[in-house]
Amino acid sequence: MRRIEKFGLSSYQFMAMTRRGVFYTFLILYMLEVLNRSFTEATLVMALPLLANSITQTLIWGPLSDKFRVRRLLIVIGESIAGVAYILLSPPVWEFFIGISHYQAKDLYALTIILGLTFLESFWSMSNVGWSALIADLTKPSERGSIMGQLNSVGSIGSIIGVFVGGFLYDYPAKAQGFHYLFFISSAIMFSSATILLVTVKEPKVVPSMNTTLKKSDNIDTTGDFPLKHIFYWYLVSIFFVMAATASIYRLLAYYIRIALSATSFEISIIRNTSSIVNFVANPIIGTLSDKKGRKNVLLAGFIAVSFVPFLYTLPTNIAEMILVSILSGITGVILSTVSYAFIAEIIPEESRGRYFGQYNTAFTLSFGVTPILISGLLTDFLTMNFLKVVKSLEDAQMLAITYVFYFSSVMCVIGLLIFLKKVYFTPYSVR
């Protein structure tokens, strides 16, 4: 990979993670504590957009990427569309067009945010599939794990900065009153990242070929588009359970920390950023380790560790203890992003990367965005209503409900681990 391309990819990753840290860390918190939505309604703001993202990646942008060999162009167009949309959805611009304060029309503004982000994600998803395929096209199998580790470390720095900035601005000048700043900063970041990528990275020329790093076994069915298609899909099933559980935690974590530990938004930022700091340190180490020692062994360690994380989040009684749990969460996050990507990149053939990375991203977005509406949304609301019969306050009922959701999430992670062991790890097919 050329230096200018590595700079472009690193810059894009940095700004993308900065933008996510600025905006999405506090979006659901705003829905819950300012717009007074239920847990189910609050999770819709992530679920419906990511459902639209999943559908369009698989049916439209993935096949289009393979047919026309456009990776960079999809990213640039997707980020530019999103930059405009964020400006239109911001509270001041929304109030200008509607003619009423969003504080006086909480139901309408909440609905606008949910539907607006859903419509946006239908186009923004072209950026996701373009990014996944672009990195695979520009890297060699022997360096892919280490390069992904480097990129994700750069992204971790961006996330740290973004979460701190979001945490500071969200409560400026008073509690939750700086939410509108997060839209404008995110929009500026998206326009900047699209410009830098357009200037620094060229569309790669991919020569169709099958992977040469795979070792066949006589007792494995290799019919279909490519030899390891069955492992590809079983891996998606296993990671689906883990990511659905992880996402359900993240949807509720900021609010849980707020009510359980009486944390400020800045303290929430510190806890979330602990995980990002660990990402920064561990990404290049784990990425290189997976290049040398094998993807599946490192993935197994990640699957085992992540099964404990949801349960451990229920134990802390102060900020310091919660930070310790966040450290473990950061390590598992590295494994299940950096190594997972490198593992999948070696399974699928080059000429079908757009299509199958679209499906891979779809599994992530369905699990990370859509499934939590059932767990952190409907289940949490159901448990809250039942606990209200036996506790004195709404916050006590909500804390109990979230605690039980975390227990359930641990069980889901164990299911994913068992599927990974039986259907992926112990297969006679070997991958690096």
- Profile the chain (432 residues) by mean pLDDT over runs of 10 residues: 87 92 90 93 90 86 86 94 96 96 96 96 90 84 76 84 91 87 96 94 64 41 62 94 93 92 90 86 84 88 96 96 95 87 83 79 79 92 95 92 97 97 82 48
In total, how many domains does the chain have? 1
Domain annotation covers residue 239:
yes
Whole-prediction pTM = 0.76
Domain annotation covers residue 128:
yes
The CATH number given to whatever domain includes residue 45 is 1.20.1250.20
What the block records as the tokens of 223 is 């019919």
End-to-end CA distance of the chain: 21
Q: 406 with 398: CB under 8 angstroms? A: no
Q: Residue 308: what pLDDT?
A: 96
Domain annotation covers residue 346:
yes
Please name every residue paired with 264 in a beta bridge, in sequence order, or none if there are none. Answer: none
Domain annotation covers residue 305:
yes
72 vs 392: CA distance, rounded Å:
55
Please name the residue that has the structure tokens 């950023």. 273
Would you report the helix, strand and coil content of the chain in percent, each value rounded to 5?
80, 0, 20
Q: Residue 429: what pLDDT?
A: 61
Q: 346 with 214: CB under 8 angstroms? A: yes
Q: Residue 261: what pLDDT?
A: 94
Over its C-alpha atoms, the chain yields an Rg (Å, rounded) of: 21
Closest to 41 in 3D by CA, of 377, 370, 369:
377
Domain annotation covers residue 391:
yes
What the block records as the tokens of 197 is 């990528």
432 vs 141: CA distance, rounded Å:
9
Q: 319 with 267: CB under 8 angstroms? A: yes
Q: What are phi and psi of 338, to 5 degrees?
A: -65, -55
Q: Say how many C-beta atoms besides its own lie within 10 A of residue 178's C-beta.
A: 18
Conformation bin of residue 397: beta by default, left when phi > 0, alpha when psi is -120 to 50: alpha
Domain annotation covers residue 430:
no
Please name the residue that has the structure tokens 């159901």. 382
Domain hosting residue 51, numbered range: 3-425
Cα–Cα distances in angstroms (integers) from residue 409 to residues 148, 248, 312, 413, in the given order = 27, 7, 11, 6
- Give me the helices (H) in 57-103, please: 62-68, 72-89, 91-98
355 vs 229: CA distance, rounded Å:
13
Domain annotation covers residue 432:
no
421 vs 432: CA distance, rounded Å:
16
Cα–Cα distances in angstroms (integers) from residue 213 to residues 155, 228, 245, 343, 350, in the given order = 28, 12, 32, 12, 13
284 vs 131: CA distance, rounded Å:
19
Domain annotation covers residue 106:
yes
